[in-house]
Copies of this chain bind each other. A is one copy, B any other.
Amino acid sequence: MIDKANQHQNPTPALGKSTHPPKSWRTWLIGRPLHTADAPHQTIGKLVGLAVFASDALSSTAYATQEMLMILAIAGTAAFHYSLPIAMGIVALLAILTLSYEQTIHAYPNGGGAYIVARDNLGNLPALIAGAALLTDYILTVSVSISSGIAQIVSAYPALYGLRIEIAVFMVFFIMLINLRGVKESGATFAIPTYFFLAMMFLTVGEGLVKVLMGNLGTVVNPPHMELIDLPQPISFFLILRAFSNGTSAVTGVEAISNGITAFKEPRSKNAGQTLIWMSVILGSLMLAITFLAYSMGAVPSETETIISQIARTVFNGTGLLYFLMITATTVILVMAANTAFADFPRLGALISQDGYLPRQFSYRGSRLVYSRGIVALAVIASLLIILFKASVTNLIPLYAIGVFLSFSLSQFGMAHRWWKSGQLKPGEEKQEPGSVVRHEKSWLVKMLINGFGGLTTFVVMIVFAITKFTDGAWIIIVLTPLLVIAFEAIHAHYKNVARQLSLDAYDNPPQLKADHVIIMLGGVHKSSLASLQYARTLSDDVRALHVSIDPEDTRRIAAKWEKWGGGVPLVILESPYRLFIEPVLDYIEQLDQQREPGEVITIVVPQFITSRWLNFLHARTADTLRKVLLAKENVVIIEVPYRITEPYGLPAQHG
């Protein structure tokens, strides 16, 4: 007899093992499991924060200029002199965004991604649109950054061109593993390479600018073959807008910090805000410098050699050590950019999932306190995109920036609306809004205008992007985003429906369920079915055994054995001339169900003999199928009485 008193109402049972972390091959791959209580300690400072969150934005300097030139090239190399003014426009856009997001970071110290800001200030639908836009954006960040990283490698080692897709997919899964280990280790792992990249970048750009001043920069030796992605055409305003659109890929990633504020050490907002400003200053200067140098030395866009590679070998007079260090640094920062998405995508997925718009599994933390399912989903989808678009940045870029700018606009319009509400309050007054507290702020009008202008600018950029890139691939995102929103709403409707039907509100008379009618599924008469028989007889007086007859010879043998062992329990035989098993049983249950009194329950006892799961394929497992089908019926309870078969070869049993 079990000592019951010992077990009841025991909130912290001395049950030993469950409080110890489990060990397995996963431990080796992603590290020892972390205790839930460890969660708050996993935060980072400004220096590491810049490394983790700014890599997306900084790394886009590796391809933004190149993709801008890719468009201008359609109008011939003479059109390249538009590149510097376009780059300046992009830097202006960056400045507006930075100002705007700095305000967001202080207003939302718990993480003010576009999803949260839109949800709190504009409502559910805009929030879901922002959510859909951001999720696709994060996926593309991974695909684009890794593809560009591969392009750098191929510039240095052209022999690897044929393997670029394989290398890209391998890299995505490598980053996935790092992220499954948790954010703190990512920070430490990634800080050194980010600063290595910045050092190499400043060295290259600095050396280049000095050479320009001294007048001895020269031009690119043996430039790659310039590729045209369209038929040649004269320069036009539309073409300039297309080039600008491609160039805006430089500002993607600016929002990363505002989503990840909670990862920063206290004071969070201040640290995050300063990191944002530093990041923008570095990004803007690099964008201008790279574009200027590329133009000065006559670099041309090409799939076989990147602009960065051309700049580096021209500045350093050939492919020596510094060239290789620069290429390595660029590749590594691009890989880390993908890592930014691996921090943000699962976090946003968990947020949307907690609101009930994505499968709940996305909000479960894995053994290392990270949202493992989101991390794995991101890796899989990004890899698929890389394979589909052949790891080409030029192919992927038209899908990229729409989502970014859509979420930028929604976020900033949300902030503008929030400042307007702030302006309606009296000085010192504060008001609880859904999600956050709105306080009166003296400078609310200026702040509203800044965010409103930012929102308007990014909205216009998005429209420009959608129009100029529509046929190149932007249409995919324009179609996909509403579909994602519909999927979110459908998932939400399902969860609400389940919750409503399970709810105990206004439920005062639970049904009195018991085993009224018991049926034993009889495949054969043996120890396993006898165990089920013994159990079934303790449940009810109305017990019968059911056998589906496929082979009459078999059936005769079973009936005879049942006569001896069945203990008087009647045997029902269902003929199955079409050798079906499930259907006759279903029909029989259906008939019983119709004769049933209201409230009565039919209990099906399924004898299960359990062998090693490695040998499951040797058994037809009809019991499993039957169980699945019958579970869907109302008023049917399934009982499985296992009978364990031991394996002589030391094979593991059903589990572990």
Please tell me if the beta carbons of B587 and A17 are within 8 angstroms of each other in the complex. Answer: yes
Which of chain B's residues have a CB closer than 8 A to the CB of A648? 493, 497
Please tell me if the beta carbons of B361 and A22 are within 8 angstroms of each other in the complex. Answer: no
Task: Judge whether A36 is part of the interface by a CB distance below 8 angstroms.
Answer: yes
Please tell me if the beta carbons of B645 and A640 are within 8 angstroms of each other in the complex. Answer: no
Determine which of B18, B574, B601, B615 lies in contact with A587 in the assembled complex, contact meaning CB atoms within 8 Å: B18
Considering only residues 270-323 of chain A, those with a C-beta below 8 Å from chain B are none
Stretch from A6-14, A132-140, A423-431 that touches the partner? A6-14
Whether A530 contacts B544 in the complex (CB less than 8 A), given A18-B575, A35-B578, A629-B655, comes out as: no
Task: Judge whether A507 is part of the interface by a CB distance below 8 angstroms.
Answer: yes
State A493–B18 Cα separation when bound (angstroms).
37
Whether A640 contacts B647 in the complex (CB less than 8 A), given A583-B17, A615-B494, comes out as: no
Whether A642 contacts B646 in the complex (CB less than 8 A), given A19-B575, A538-B513, comes out as: no
Considering only residues 519-536 of chain A, those with a C-beta below 8 Å from chain B are 524-528, 530-531, 533-535
Q: How far is the CB of A62 from chain B (nearest CB, A)?
A: 37
Please tell me if the beta carbons of A574 and B15 are within 8 angstroms of each other in the complex. Answer: yes
| Total contacting residues, chain A, CB less than 8 A | 120
Task: Judge whether A572 is part of the interface by a CB distance below 8 angstroms.
Answer: yes
Which of chain B's residues have a CB closer than 8 A to the CB of A618? 359-360, 491, 494-495
Task: Judge whether A609 is part of the interface by a CB distance below 8 angstroms.
Answer: yes
Please tell me if the beta carbons of A591 and B15 are within 8 angstroms of each other in the complex. Answer: yes
Q: Give A1-43 as 1s and 0s: 1 = Cβ < 8 Å from B's Cβ atoms.
A: 1111001111111011111011000000000011111000000
Which of chain B's residues have a CB closer than 8 A to the CB of A619? 360
Task: Judge whether A577 is part of the interface by a CB distance below 8 angstroms.
Answer: yes
Stretch from A444-452, A476-484, A592-600 that touches the partner? A592-600
Whether A578 contacts B367 in the complex (CB less than 8 A), given A513-B531, A653-B632, comes out as: yes
Determine which of B364, B609, B631 lies in contact with A620 in the assembled complex, contact meaning CB atoms within 8 Å: B364
Please tell me if the beta carbons of A645 and B580 are within 8 angstroms of each other in the complex. Answer: no
Task: Judge whether A504 is part of the interface by a CB distance below 8 angstroms.
Answer: yes
Please tell me if the beta carbons of B631 and A608 are within 8 angstroms of each other in the complex. Answer: yes
Please tell me if the beta carbons of A501 and B577 are within 8 angstroms of each other in the complex. Answer: no
Which of chain B's residues have a CB closer than 8 A to the CB of A497? 645, 647-648
Task: Judge whether A557 is part of the interface by a CB distance below 8 angstroms.
Answer: no
Q: Give A157-200 as 1s and 0s: 1 = Cβ < 8 Å from B's Cβ atoms.
A: 00000000000000000000000000000000000000000000
Which of chain B's residues have a CB closer than 8 A to the CB of A644? 632-634
Please tell me if the beta carbons of A527 and B513 are within 8 angstroms of each other in the complex. Answer: no
Q: Give A472-511 as 1s and 0s: 1 = Cβ < 8 Å from B's Cβ atoms.
A: 0000000000000000000101110110011110010011
- Identical chains bound together, number: 2
Please tell me if the beta carbons of B578 and A21 are within 8 angstroms of each other in the complex. Answer: yes
Please tell me if the beta carbons of A18 and B574 are within 8 angstroms of each other in the complex. Answer: yes
Task: Judge whether A324 is part of the interface by a CB distance below 8 angstroms.
Answer: no
Q: How far is the CB of A7 from chain B (nearest CB, A)?
A: 6
Determine which of B502, B513, B549 lies in contact with A645 in the assembled complex, contact meaning CB atoms within 8 Å: B502
Which of chain B's residues have a CB closer than 8 A to the CB of A511? 531, 534
Please tell me if the beta carbons of B513 and A501 are within 8 angstroms of each other in the complex. Answer: no
Please tell me if the beta carbons of B538 and A515 are within 8 angstroms of each other in the complex. Answer: yes
Please tell me if the beta carbons of A637 and B13 are within 8 angstroms of each other in the complex. Answer: no
Please tell me if the beta carbons of A528 and B514 are within 8 angstroms of each other in the complex. Answer: no
Task: Judge whether A365 is part of the interface by a CB distance below 8 angstroms.
Answer: yes
Please tell me if the beta carbons of B640 and A654 are within 8 angstroms of each other in the complex. Answer: no
Whether A535 contacts B637 in the complex (CB less than 8 A), given A497-B645, A578-B33, comes out as: yes
Please tell me if the beta carbons of A10 and B578 are within 8 angstroms of each other in the complex. Answer: no
Please tell me if the beta carbons of B640 and A596 are within 8 angstroms of each other in the complex. Answer: no
Q: How far is the CB of A612 from chain B (nearest CB, A)?
A: 9
Task: Judge whether A512 is part of the interface by a CB distance below 8 angstroms.
Answer: yes
Please tell me if the beta carbons of A632 and B646 are within 8 angstroms of each other in the complex. Answer: no
Which of chain B's residues have a CB closer than 8 A to the CB of A638? 639-640, 642
Task: Judge whether A542 is part of the interface by a CB distance below 8 angstroms.
Answer: yes
Q: How far is the CB of A549 from chain B (nearest CB, A)?
A: 8
Which of chain B's residues have a CB closer than 8 A to the CB of A628? 654-655
Q: How far is the CB of A2 from chain B (nearest CB, A)?
A: 5
Task: Judge whether A617 is part of the interface by a CB distance below 8 angstroms.
Answer: yes
- A565 nearest in chain B by CB position: B504
Determine which of B8, B36, B587, B597 lies in contact with A1 in the assembled complex, contact meaning CB atoms within 8 Å: B597
Please tell me if the beta carbons of B498 and A611 are within 8 angstroms of each other in the complex. Answer: yes
Please tell me if the beta carbons of B527 and A502 are within 8 angstroms of each other in the complex. Answer: yes
Task: Judge whether A457 is part of the interface by a CB distance below 8 angstroms.
Answer: no
State A592–B365 Cα separation when bound (angstroms).
29
State A588–B539 Cα separation when bound (angstroms).
26
Please tell me if the beta carbons of A498 and B645 are within 8 angstroms of each other in the complex. Answer: yes
- A606 nearest in chain B by CB position: B638
For the A-B complex with A2-B517, A8-B544, A629-B654 known, give 12 more contacts whose Cβ atoms are closer than 8 Å.
Answer: A2-B595, A3-B595, A22-B578, A36-B577, A501-B646, A502-B609, A513-B535, A514-B534, A628-B654, A632-B655, A636-B642, A637-B642
**CB<8 Å pairs between A and B, sample of 11:** A9-B572, A18-B574, A18-B583, A494-B647, A497-B648, A510-B531, A510-B534, A610-B632, A629-B655, A634-B642, A637-B640
- Using CB atoms and an 8 Å cutoff, list the residues of chain A in contact with chain B: 1-4, 7-13, 15-19, 21-22, 33-37, 359-361, 364-367, 491, 493-495, 497-498, 501-504, 507, 510-515, 517, 524-528, 530-531, 533-535, 538-539, 542, 544, 549-550, 561, 565, 570-580, 583-584, 587-588, 591-592, 595-597, 601, 608-611, 613, 615, 617-620, 627-629, 631-634, 636-648, 653-655
The 5 closest A-B pairs by CB, nearest first: A632-B654, A18-B584, A502-B526, A514-B538, A8-B570
